[in-house]
Amino acid sequence: MSRRVGFAGVCTVLLRLTADAPWPLLLAAVRDEFTDRAWDPPGAHWVASAPALLGGRDRTAGGTWLAVRPDPPAVAAILNGVRLGPLEYGARPSRGGLPLAALTSAAPLEATDLAGYDGFHLVMGTADRVEVWSWDGHRLAHQQISPGDHIVVNAGVDTVDDPLVPHFAPLLAATPSPDPRPGLSTADAWDGWVDLLTGDGLAPDDARALIVRREIDVLDSASTRTRTYGSTSASLIAIGRSGVRYDFTGTPERPTWREIPVGTR
């Protein structure tokens, strides 16, 4: 089964939740997108509506695929789900506003009319819990993730329908938990996790691939053109009880990692 359902947002989230650890939540996220879709690197892009949040910004719709809240520490990411047919009138709203809403609302999604949205999986994590809201165009399902290792993909949480999951689940389990203290280089802070995000040497068109790249023929008006679809960024997030560590690369195929200053530790 192909796991690439739809074309925007984070396509894979790997996470570990360990309640009594110094960093209870460790999260790695890879975003897959058309490579010609413009975006801005992580920053405080939503000064008027969400000044405390940091994340990469999609220039087309203005939202994000992943955002971090320094205080109280939290992270939210969006993965595409099922792509629905066109609406009778107008365009479907962007899912990129949902991570921002989740991190600025006491009741994520409850005040949002989801009727027009394509499918999605919204992941939100703190030092105490990780929750996933899944929308299929008809029903909103909610689950709290149990402690341990989990992989979220476009088909859902820990689903064996996606060949990536059974391939990377044992690799994630074998990766030690780091101590990503601020100020360390990404390689030192995230020992093992940086290696995990190199993709285990799989070809970018492999059905199991974490880092992907392929050419796709897209119907544009009356003609067809070829666009490149691939992994355009990756993030490493550690959530502690009093702080956040956030590392980012905009070139997952040949990563150059850097720590994103979050202000609160």
DSSP 195-246: HHTTTTT--TTSTT-SS-EEEEEEEETTEEEEEEEEEEEEEEEEE-SS-EEE
The residue behind tokens 């203005």 is 62
What are the tens digits of pLDDT across the range 160-202?
A: 999 999 999 999 999 999 999 999 999 999 999 999 999 999 9
Residue 63 region, left (φ>0) first, then alpha (ψ -120 to 50), else beta? beta
Question: If we measure between CA atoms, which residue out of 116, 96, 92, 110 comes closest to residue 40?
Answer: 96
Class of 10-259 in CATH = alpha beta
- Burial zone of 160 (CB within 10 Å; 0-12 exposed, 13-18 middle, 19+ buried): exposed
Residue type, 133: W
Q: Give the per-residue pLDDT at 2.
A: 38
Instruction: Give the Cα-Cα-Cα angle 143, 193, 101 (nearest 5 degrees).
Output: 40
Chain segment 79-88, per-residue pLDDT in tens? 998 776 665 5
Q: Are 68 and 246 a contacting pair, CB within 8 Å?
A: yes
3-state SS class at 184? coil
Stated pTM of the model: 0.92
Please tell me the predicted confidence (pLDDT) of residue 239.
98
Map tokens 């359902």 to a residue: 5
pLDDT for residue 10: 58
